[in-house]
Amino acid sequence: MQRSPMPVRVIFRCAFCDAVPDPDTQKALEAQLAEFLFGEYLDALPGRWLVWHGHGIYGRNMHACEEHRGDLTAFLRETYGTIGWHPWKMPPYPTTRRSEVTDRARKLARRVGSSFGLPGS
């Protein structure tokens, strides 16, 4: 028996004030879920949310609204700043790391059955 996919809505909240993004920024944040990153900041526009893609030794992903971008970077630098240079990266931050090369790698990975080619990416 094949199961049909269940629709899911991801709810993003600022790590410092529980604010939620506007609809356009929500779409940008959802698109970033398919990013395969480690220790990187990404901007989510138009609401100017800052996203920390931690993973591994840099902890979990974290989101901050425009008002708390500085709080997020300060927290990350204090918490993970002695581990490596990643938390110390200065703006401007990109909105994506995807490129022709990464898209080609995802397509190839999907063809061979790897989980690297995330659904919808």
- At 20-59, the pLDDT tens digits run 999 999 999 999 998 888 999 999 999 999 999 998 899 9
Q: CB atoms < 10 A from the CB of 86, how many? A: 20
Domain of residue 42, residue span: 23-96
Residue 90 lies in a domain: yes
Task: Assess whether pLDDT exceeds 60 at residue 118.
Answer: no
The number of domains in the chain is 1
Whether 119 is covered by a domain: the verdict is no
pTM of the model: 0.81
| Residue 71 main-chain phi, psi, to 5 deg | -65, -40
Phi, psi dihedrals of residue 44, rounded to the nearest 5°: -120, 110
104 found inside a domain: no
